[in-house]
Amino acid sequence: MLHSDAVVEDGQRHFGRFETTPLANPTQQYDGAARAWEWFRTKEWAGFTLSHPELFCSMIIQEAKYLASSELYVFDCASQELVQHSANRMGGSLRLPADLLHSACAFTSPRYRLGYDFGDDEVIVAIDIDATPDAPAVRGRLHLDVRHASHPLVVSSKLPGGSMYTNKIVYPASGRIYCGSRAYTFHPSRDFAILDEHKSHLPYRTRWTWGTFVFPVDGGIAGANFASRESAPGQEEESCLWTPQAAEPLSDIAFERHGDDDRSPWTMRSADGRLDVTFTPQGSKGVDQQLVVAEIHYRQWFGTYEGTLRGQDREWQIHGVHGACEQMDARM
């Protein structure tokens, strides 16, 4: 484990797993024109996936340099209704802070505002999105408990033709979200928000498959974050088992999809058997963009997990745990 306070120190990039979240400044290893190029190639985002029994919800603020954007969806489990909102700005106009966990950031447009305010004791997520002809308004305010958050999953690694930095933390969540006439109340003993922060120089041709879920256990939070992508030999993966004691390193994840429609189940297993789960989608949302020099094909499925987690000191059998799975295939 790395104990450094910054991803780059004295012009040198650290690669590996970090014990705590460092200052995320990956472009600082470069100077002059090289730094400008690395800034342009670095894709930055900060988002949350929510865990709540009555809905599936995910939100993101992202800066791709050619485009700044934000998206949010709410899927109501009872009605099976999917509500989606998004907004765009000029690329390069959104600067996400290097010290996210002690900062505030927001995406704003005339009808759309999504903001995160990170403090020492709590994170406030504020949502204020107007109705459109296709979707009702979404508003709300969540309070995320920093003091009882999970251990962070923080990885800096080399990729073929690029590099990756990610920081993922699970927070107990309280507050309320309103979607049209529906209200969802969050209880910190049951409900969570999973932070996903990235500052990564992704290869021009980028592919990944990723999944995550969490649930309450005696003593805190358990769950998993797991991914499969092409990486350089010997580099850490952005995968872990969350237990109340640690973010235990996980690697060599195999994803298998059993069918071609949106409700086809998946199996996800680690080579060492500590992760062995089945994911059953309830729905999905996607993005397909064809630009002059860029192309994005992205889909996120939301649904339930069941199976086995084997931590260092304890094993959990899970059933019906809410979570997400996604695939990206892009030229960026």
Question: What pTM does this model have?
Answer: 0.96
Query: Whole-angstrom distance between the N-terminal and C-terminal Cα of the chain?
Result: 31
Count of other CB atoms within 10 angstroms of residue 85 = 24
In a domain, 308, yes or no: yes
Which of the 8 DSSP states describes residue 236? P
Q: Is the confidence at residue 332, as pLDDT, over 70?
A: no
Residues 6+ apart with CB under 8 A from 204: 161, 331, 332
Give residue 11's identity as a one-letter amino acid code: G
**DSSP 8-state class, residue 97:** -
2 inside domain: no
Could you give the CA distance from residue 268 to residue 257 in angstroms, rounded to a whole number?
A: 9
8 within domain boundaries = no
* Structure confidence by residue, pLDDT tens digits, 247-270: 999 999 999 999 988 899 999 999
292 has pLDDT over 70:
no
3-state secondary structure of 7: coil
pLDDT in tens, 49-86: 999 999 999 999 999 998 899 999 999 999 999 999 99
pLDDT tens-digit profile of 194-217?
999 999 999 888 999 999 999 999
* Helical H segments across the chain, by residue range: 32-41
Q: Are 28 and 165 in contact (CB under 8 A)?
A: no
Q: What token pair was written down for 97?
A: 């802070």
Give domain status of residue 281, yes or no. Answer: yes
Q: What's the domain range around 105?
A: 33-331
DSSP 128-180: EE--BTTB--EEEEEEEESTTPPPPEEEEEEETTEEEEEEEEEEEEEEEEEET
Q: How far apart are CA 3 and CA 194, in angstroms?
A: 23
| 4: in domain | no
Residue 70 CA to chain centroid, in angstroms? 13
CA–CA gap between residue 325 and residue 256 (Å, rounded): 12
Are the C-beta atoms of residues 49 and 58 closer than 8 Å to each other?
yes
> For residue 128, what are its two tokens?
């204020």
Report residue 96 CA to chain centroid gap.
15
Closest CA to 327 of 276, 287, 283: 287
Report the alpha-carbon distance of residue 131 to residue 111 in Å, rounded. Answer: 8
Residue 1 placed within a domain: no
The domain total for the chain is 1
Q: What is the DSSP letter of 31?
A: -
14 vs 235: CA distance, rounded Å: 12
Supply the mean pLDDT for the chain. Answer: 95
Residue 264 falls inside a structural domain: yes
In a domain, 300, yes or no: yes
Per-residue model confidence (pLDDT) at position 111: 96
| 203 vs 158, residue with greater confidence | 158
> Average pLDDT for residues 32-47, to the nearest whole number?
96
Closest of 300, 323, 304, 240 to residue 275, by C-alpha: 240
Give the pLDDT confidence of 89-148 residue by residue, as tens digits. Answer: 999 999 899 999 999 999 999 999 999 999 999 999 999 999 999 999 999 999 999 999
